[in-house]
Amino acid sequence: MIPPYLKRSKSIEDLLPLLYLKGISTGDFNEALEALLGKGAAGLSAGTISRLKADWEQEQEAWSKRSLSDKEYVYVWADGVYFGVRGDDDRTCILVLMGATAQGKKELIALESGYRENAQSWRELLVRLKNKGLQAPKLAIGDGALGFWKA
């Protein structure tokens, strides 16, 4: 369940988000961390995990509200990614938009949940990004899911 590079990590900050996304409940973190990192890793309470989760949510919220007016992406890649995390509806996906700057640097532009990859979900995402200052790229790349292209 844990990628090899994280099994070697001694940083709890690297492990906690992954354990949470893999479905470990807040009450089971002590046992999971102790199994991965040894006896010295025990001691995280469910309250501590809940506070960390709230911090992650605040960071994600701030990131999603950032201005994009100073960014210029030459290319963007769009795709919907489906997960079975925490029993989500199989029609829910994560809409992902990546961009490449003129200097060739890849950046995550957007990451949010949508209903399948339908046009309405992509349209809402693209309108929000435009309102935050995103300029139209020179080229957009996507797979065969037609929602992005309709939007």
Enclosing domain of residue 93: 73-150
Same domain, 99 and 36: no
Same domain, 55 and 80: no
Residue type, 76: V
Same domain, 109 and 45: no
Question: Looking at the DSSP assignment, which residues form a beta bridge with residue 80?
Answer: 95
Same domain, 59 and 119: no
Q: Which residues have C-beta within 8 Å of that of residue 75, sequence separation ≥ 6? A: 99, 100, 137, 138, 139, 140, 141
Same domain, 84 and 140: yes
Q: What is the pLDDT of residue 113?
A: 85
Same domain, 77 and 143: yes
Alpha helices, DSSP H only, in the chain? Answer: 4-7, 12-21, 29-37, 46-64, 119-131, 146-150
Q: How does pLDDT run across 122-137, given as a tens digit for each residue?
A: 999 999 999 999 999 9
Same domain, 78 and 43: no
Q: How does pLDDT run across 67-98, given as a tens digit for each residue?
A: 999 999 999 999 998 876 555 556 678 899 99
Q: How does pLDDT run across 11-66, given as a tens digit for each residue?
A: 666 667 777 666 777 677 677 766 666 666 555 666 777 787 888 889 989 999 99
Question: Which pair of structure tokens corresponds to residue 79?
Answer: 């795709």
Same domain, 107 and 60: no
Domain containing 126 — which CATH number?
A: 3.30.420
